Amino acid sequence: MSVSTVESVEKFVNFIKSPTLTVVHFAADWADQCGQVTEVLRELLKIPEIQASKTQFAICDAENLSEISLQYKVDSVPTVILFKNGEQVDRVDGADAAQITAKVKTHSLGKAAPVNAAPQKLEDRLKALINRHNVMVFMKGSRDAPRCGFSRTLIQILNGTGVSYDTFDILTDEEVRQGLKEYSDWPTYPQLYVKGELIGGLDIIKELQTNGELDATLKA
């Protein structure tokens, strides 16, 4: 048994249909933490009881198969989703080896598997989102089509630095829009994070640029 790769929507649909546990790791090449999660899955595959349970493991490129990522709200990698009979039974957002191990064991060995998996905590989702990229921007609209002047100006400044970054459109998700304000104690957008730490909004970024500290902050 090995960790297989799901390359198409058809293959994914077929794969998750199984009545035995199917574990899908949504990953991206550029995300270091995905390698760690694949290792965790490989270790789990070596456990005889898990092998006997006919649990399947697969890796799905979250960006290539964006249709599936969207359907299952995979907005950060790594995300591990557990399926049975085509239905999601549980998930772990982020590279949390302990949680992945515990959940795969619970569901594959059938021990006290919850009838309804507890909904994912908003805080866990926000943490995973904030850490989706070293430089993460929560904004209105996308980098190609900002939908607010503050967000547009921030994108222009970031593009000028040549630094690689990722964005999340808070207008697509009211839960994230309101939740992140509270979580980070910052009432407006855009919000810029470096390595999971809030740097600030547009005013702060402009200030850092004026002081010549922006590049160092982004490359921290």
Ligand X SMILES: N[C@@H](CCC(=O)N[C@@H](CS)C(=O)NCC(=O)O)C(=O)O
Site residues, ligand X (CB under 6 A)? 140, 148, 150, 177, 188-190, 201-203
- Kindly give the interhelix angle for 202-210 and 149-161, rounded to the nearest 10 degrees: 40
Residue 90: φ, ψ to 5°: -170, 170
CB of 181 to ligand X, least distance (A): 7
- Kindly give the interhelix angle for 97-108 and 32-45, rounded to the nearest 10 degrees: 30
DSSP E strand stretches across the chain? 4-6, 22-27, 56-61, 79-84, 87-93, 135-139, 166-169, 191-194, 197-200
Tell me the residue type at 89: V
* Alpha-carbon separation of residue 70 from 24, 61, 133, 177, 187 (angstroms): 15, 12, 18, 18, 27
CB of 150 to ligand X, least distance (A): 4
Which single residue brings its beta carbon nearest to ligand X? 201
Q: Which is nearer to ligand X, 67 or 174 (CB)?
A: 174
CB of 186 to ligand X, least distance (A): 9
CB of 142 to ligand X, least distance (A): 15
Among candidates 79, 75, 108, which has minimal Cα distance to 93? Answer: 79
Q: Which is nearer to ligand X, 57 or 189 (CB)?
A: 189
Q: Which is nearer to ligand X, 156 or 188 (CB)?
A: 188
CB of 146 to ligand X, least distance (A): 10
Q: Which is nearer to ligand X, 49 or 197 (CB)?
A: 197
CA–CA dist 76, 94 (Å, integer) = 7
Q: Which is nearer to ligand X, 104 or 198 (CB)?
A: 198
